[in-house]
Every structure is written in structure tokens, then in C-alpha cells.
């Protein structure tokens, strides 16, 4: 029997198909989703989308059966990116479920759930209750109601593209050539619709929808998955490169020289653009983004608000503060104009607008938002994460000019450098991020902390 507790994570459902996630779990999840969100008494319908993975249509259909079996109607939008599902949830004011495993390998699938208006369903806001009901239903399947809800197909791709283009109008920018690597994921479905007209010439890479990912994993966070895009940008003399993950809710950016532009620089650039339209607004940034981000927000008249890592925390803070925008180090970007949901496509449009409104190349435009040297996220396997973090804190706490906080894991800030170390929610890993004013300092601090994590000194590089 499937271990339901193991596949329900902090923010979504994710597991190997069919060993950890199968149609019986999806069907039970549909019924539980209706009960926990009280859909029958509220909006009366649920919107469902799915990605290109071979298992996605069947899992989505099973979830729809579970929903309909409670008497609730289903709006099936078919193939979709995750941000397209959020669009549907926001536009239709319905709770939604997206079947995708995002950037994970082909054997995985999962469910991302939201309330009406794309509000998050996290561990503390319904996901644990859904998991408990699913576990009971898998053990003893319930009897469906006599009058099930109906399932209706609805194509929202054009409406989604039109909404994004209304938010960022590219018609007056200079012509741009842009290579897009969809990684055989849902960007291959949404990019042609979003860029159907206008001055942006798209050079497609791996637009064929294929959930087996024959070219590379749809995980742009791993540098090896950017190699083809970087080479193509240089080969065709493109102005920019964009890489989307499997469900196309995250976007990574490559400059004209083939060099990655950090998500923190993109966060800073988009924040400046949004503050120009909405002066004085709050902007959320998670605590792993570069210190350049809150500096830029403050310099442009905004209020920077620091958040824990994770979409449910950022969306909650955006709602509480009416923030206009939020950004994460992992290339998730959240917009008030998009129901506070994350959309890599809207971030990409902002990037293209920022570039196309001036004559400088991307490397020069976005260098203005890169002020410090960062390590990137470094994962280390540990036996006892809590003890390791405590030992690190003992080493650094109390040093002159050093502050410590525990908003999310352990953050140590010495002014000219800082680092954060936090435990993974799902694996025996510690995640380390270091930033400093220069590369030498960053590398020194990085290696010091890694030595504490691993229990052995980091080998010097020749």
C-alpha cells in the first residue's frame, strides 16, 4: 500500500509513479480536497490542469473522478503550465489542482493545490488534513454520491497569454532574438502562445512535449542543464536565453555571452520595474536572495520585507502587506497582478522589457543588479542536521560585529559577508548559501562553514 504520509511534502504532493503515487491516491485526494476546502458549500467547482508527463492525464482524470464523486463540478483545462493553472484559479475564482512533478525526473509526478484565487494550500493550511483523509480513503474507499458533478473541458491558453501581454506590453521594445530552452516541458506549450506576435524572435530548443526528457532534465537550477542553451545563444548571436523548468513556473536567464544571470539580479530588476509603476510598495524577498535585493528595493522607494523560503510563506506575506512583487533565489517570482502567484513567464516578459527598452546588451543591463559574490546553494548530506547547525552557531555566535537569526535555519551576518544554513524538509541535507563583497572572502567563509558541516577541511584548489 502507498505510504501517503511520505508523498505529502510541506507544499505539495510528490512521489514515484506508480510505487508512491497512483490513481487510487489521486482519486482519494480529489475527494479530500473538496472536503477540506469545503468546495461544495463554496465555489462549487474545481479547476484541474496537467503537464506532459506520461502519467499526468490518468492521474488528473482520477483526481477529477474523486472531485466529481462528491457532487462538485470539474473544469478541466488540459495541458497547462503551473502558472496557467494559477491563472485559471484566479480568473475563474476556483480552487485548483495541477498535476506535475516540476523539475523532478521522469519517474515522478505530483499535485500542486491551491484555493480559489490561487491562494496556497500548505502544510498548515489544509495539506495535512488532506493527507489524513487520503490515507483513510486509500485503506477503505468511500462510496460515491448518487449524483456526481460534471466534468467540462475549457481551453484557457489564449486568455492566459493575453493576460500576461496586457501586464507587460512588449510592442514598443527594440527587436530581440531570444533562445528559449523548454526542456521538453510545458514551456513548449505556453511560449508560442505568449510570443505569437510582437518584436521578439524566438529560437526554440526542445519545445516537443516529452515527459521522458530525452535531451536533459527540465531543471535549470542544475548548471549542466543550461549548457545547450548557453551554446545556442552564442551560436545564433541571440540577445538573451531563457530556460524554463518542467512545469514552466520558473524561468532562468542567460545573457548574450552565455553567462547565467542570477535570480537575485532578476528579482532586483523586476522589483525596480514594479516599484516604478507602484511607488512606495512593499516587495518580498526570501532570506537567501542577495543583499543587493533589499538595497535596491529601498533605494527605489519600496519597503523590503524578508521572508522564509517557500511559496506559501511568501504568498501569505504578500497578502498581509499588499506587496506588489516577491522573488526567491530559486527563480520563483510572485506578482500581485497575478493573484500573488508565481509565474516565470511574467518574469521573463519583464526581463525582455528591461532589455528591449535600451540599447545595452543583457550583460551590461543586469550587471547593475549584481553587487556581491555568491556561492550558490551547496547541499551536504549529514547524519544530524540539528546538531551540525548548533555547532556552526556556537562557532560564529558572539563574534564582534556578527549577528545571528533563526527566521529559516541559521543566518550569520558579519556585514561584509553572510551565510545561511538550513535543513531540507525532505532529505538528510543541509543547504548552505554564502555571500560576500568579493570572491576571496566568499570562498573563505564558504570553505570554513563546509568544513564544519562535513567534519573535514575543504581541499584547496590549485
- The answer on pLDDT for 213 being more than 60 is yes
- The answer on pLDDT for 208 being more than 60 is yes
- The answer on pLDDT for 11 being more than 80 is no
Mean pLDDT of 205-231: 96
Question: Residue 227: how many CB atoms within 10 A of its CB?
Answer: 12
Q: What φ, ψ does residue 458 adopt, rounded to 5°?
A: -80, 135
Q: What is the pLDDT of residues 231-284, one digit of tens each?
A: 999 999 999 999 999 999 999 999 999 999 999 999 999 999 999 999 999 999
- The answer on pLDDT for 165 being more than 80 is yes
Which pLDDT belongs to residue 462? 38
Which pLDDT belongs to residue 5? 75
Mean pLDDT of 425-436: 88
Burial class (CB within 10 angstroms; exposed 0-12, middle 13-18, buried 19+) of 177: middle
Rounded to two decimals, what is the model's pTM?
0.93
Mean pLDDT of 83-94: 97
- Select which of 56, 81, 89, 102 is catalytic: 102
Which pLDDT belongs to residue 10? 63
Q: What is the pLDDT of residues 111-154, one digit of tens each?
A: 999 999 999 887 778 888 999 999 888 777 766 666 789 999 99
Q: What is the pLDDT of residues 37-75, one digit of tens each?
A: 988 778 889 999 999 999 999 999 999 999 999 999 999
d(CA 324, CA 231): 35
Is 102 among the catalytic positions?
yes
- The answer on pLDDT for 377 being more than 50 is yes
Which pLDDT belongs to residue 13? 87
DSSP lists the bridge partners of residue 113 as: 97
Report which of 279, 284, 343, 291 is spatially closest to residue 315, judged by C-alpha positions: 284
d(CA 353, CA 450): 39
For residues 55 and 399, the model is more confident at 55
pLDDT band with cut points at 50, 70 and 90 for residue 426:
low
Q: What's the maximum distance between 2 C-alpha atoms anywhere in the chain?
A: 73
Helix/strand/coil (H/E/C) assignment for every residue in the chain: CCCHHHHECCCCEEEECCCCCCHHHHHHHHHHHHHHHCCCCCCCEEEEEECCCCCHHHHHHHHHHHHHCCCCEEEEEEECCHHHHHHHHHHHCCCEEEECCCCCCCCEEEEEEECHHHCECCHHHCHHHHHHHHHHHHHCCCCCCCCCCCEEECCCHHHHHHHHHHHCCCCCCCCEEEEEECCCCCHHHHHHHHCCCCCEEEEEECCCCCCCCCCCCCCCCCHHHHHHHHHHHHHHCCCEEEEECCCCCCEEEECCCCCEECHHHHHHHHHHHHHHHCCCCEEEEECCCCCHHHHHHHHCCCEEEEECCCHHHHHHHHHHHCCCEEECCCCCEEEHHHCCEECHHHHHHHHHHHHHCCCCCHHHHHHCCCCCEECCCEEEECCCHHHHHHHHHHHHCCCCCCEEECCCCEEEECCCEEEEEEECCCCCEEEEEEEECCHHHHHHHHHHHHHHHHCCCCCCCC
Which pLDDT belongs to residue 461? 47
Measured in residues, the chain has a length of 462
Burial class (CB within 10 angstroms; exposed 0-12, middle 13-18, buried 19+) of 148: middle
- The answer on pLDDT for 459 being more than 80 is no
Are 327 and 293 within 8 A, CB to CB? yes
Amino acid at each position: 500500500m502507498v505510504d501517503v504520509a511520505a508523498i505529502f511534502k510541506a507544499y505539495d504532493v510528490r512521489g514515484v509513479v506508480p510505487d508512491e503515487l497512483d490513481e487510487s491516491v489521486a482519486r482519494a485526494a480529489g475527494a479530500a480536497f473538496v472536503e477540506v476546502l469545503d468546495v461544495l458549500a463554496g465555489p462549487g467547482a474545481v479547476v484541474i490542469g496537467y503537464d506532459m508527463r506520461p502519467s499526468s492525464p490518468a492521474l488528473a482524470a482520477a483526481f477529477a473522478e474523486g472531485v466529481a464523486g462528491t457532487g462538485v463540478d470539474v473544469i478541466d483545462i488540459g495541458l497547462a503550465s503551473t502558472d496557467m493553472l494559477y491563472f485559471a484559479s484566479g480568473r475563474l475564482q476556483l480552487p485548483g489542482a495541477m498535476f506535475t512533478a516540476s523539475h523532478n525526473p521522469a519517474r515522478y509526478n505530483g499535485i500542486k493545490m491551491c484555493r480559489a484565487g490561487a491562494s496556497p494550500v500548505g502544510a498548515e493550511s489544509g495539506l495535512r488534513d488532506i493527507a489524513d483523509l487520503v490515507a483513510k480513503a486509500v485503506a477503505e474507499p468511500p462510496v460515491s454520491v448518487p449524483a456526481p458533478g460534471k466534468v467540462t473541458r475549457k481551453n484557457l491558453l489564449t486568455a492566459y497569454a493575453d493576460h500576461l501581454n496586457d501586464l507587460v506590453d512588449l510592442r514598443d521594445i527594440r527587436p530581440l532574438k531570444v533562445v528559449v530552452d523548454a526542456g521538453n516541458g510545458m514551456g513548449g506549450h505556453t511560449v508560442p502562445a505568449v510570443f505569437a506576435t510582437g518584436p521578439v524572435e524566438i529560437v526554440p530548443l526542445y519545445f516537443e512535449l516529452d515527459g521522458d526528457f530525452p535531451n536533459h532534465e527540465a531543471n535549470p537550477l542544475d548548471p549542466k542543464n543550461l549548457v545547450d542553451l548557453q551554446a545556442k545563444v552564442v551560436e545564433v548571436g541571440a540577445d538573451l536565453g531563457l530556460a524554463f523548468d518542467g512545469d514552466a513556473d520558473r524561468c532562468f536567464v542567460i545573457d548574450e555571452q552565455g553567462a547565467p544571470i542570477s535570480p537575485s539580479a532578476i528579482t532586483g530588476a523586476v522589483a525596480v520595474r514594479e516599484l516604478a509603476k507602484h511607488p512606495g510598495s512593499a516587495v518580498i524577498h526570501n532570506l537567501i536572495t542577495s543583499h543587493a535585493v533589499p538595497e535596491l528595493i529601498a533605494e527605489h522607494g519600496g519597503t523590503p520585507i524578508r521572508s522564509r523560503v517557500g511559496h506559501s510563506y511568501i504568498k501569505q506575506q504578500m497578502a498581509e502587506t499588499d506587496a506588489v512583487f516577491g522573488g526567491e533565489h530559486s527563480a520563483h517570482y510572485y506578482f500581485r497582478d497575478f493573484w500573488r502567484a508565481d509565474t516565470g513567464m511574467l518574469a521573463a516578459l519583464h526581463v525582455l522589457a528591461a532589455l528591449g527598452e535600451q540599447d545595452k546588451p543583457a550583460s551590461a543591463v543586469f550587471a547593475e543588479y549584481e553587487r556581491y559574490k555568491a556561492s550558490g546553494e551547496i547541499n551536504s548530506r549529514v547524519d544530524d542536521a540539528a546538531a551540525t547547525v548548533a555547532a556552526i552557531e556556537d562557532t560564529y555566535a558572539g563574534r564582534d560585529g556578527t549577528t545571528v537569526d533563526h527566521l529559516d535555519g541559521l543566518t550569520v551576518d558579519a556585514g561584509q559577508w553572510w551565510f545561511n544554513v538550513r535543513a531540507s524538509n525532505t532529505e538528510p541535507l543541509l543547504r548552505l548559501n554564502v555571500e560576500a563583497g568579493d570572491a576571496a572572502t566568499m570562498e573563505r567563509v564558504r570553505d570554513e562553514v563546509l568544513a564544519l558541516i562535513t567534519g573535514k577541511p575543504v581541499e584547496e584548489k590549485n
